[in-house]
Amino acid sequence: MPVVFFHGVLGFLPYGLTIDLLAEMHAGAIYLPIFPTWAVAAPPSVRLSPCDRPLQLPELVVSLRGMLCGARAAFLANSVGSGLLGAVLERAPELAGAAVFSDPICFELSSGDVLHNFLYAEPPCCGGRWPRDYVH
């Protein structure tokens, strides 16, 4: 199964070791779409290689379908890349054989309840439950 990795806001710089280990452990294809930092108000653009023109989200879905040739992929996304992965999988869930959201952005942080709980919620008093139920 091919692997597709959507990086975070700093590009591939922080992921060198992760990508090296992934390449050692995975014999199949590994795709690393490149996307620049974007403003929150602007839709993300993605490059499948440094020479390509930037793709908007619908074009990215079409390109991924073409690259994968009907196969499902294991998607891995970190930080801001998780937002892009969520948008891709919302439009084309058939592309995913598996998906891992590592340190995902908070999709509902603009919601008052989520924001309040994220900033002010106290962890449960039971020590055994804290690591499992509360991540801040």
The pTM (predicted TM-score) of the whole model is 0.67
Could you tell me which of 1, 6, 4, 3 has the C-alpha nearest to residue 104? 6
**Segment holding 30, helix H or strand E:** strand 30-31
> pLDDT tens for residues 49-74?
555 666 677 888 888 898 898 899 99
> Which pair of structure tokens corresponds to residue 31?
């795709």
pLDDT at position 93 over 70: yes
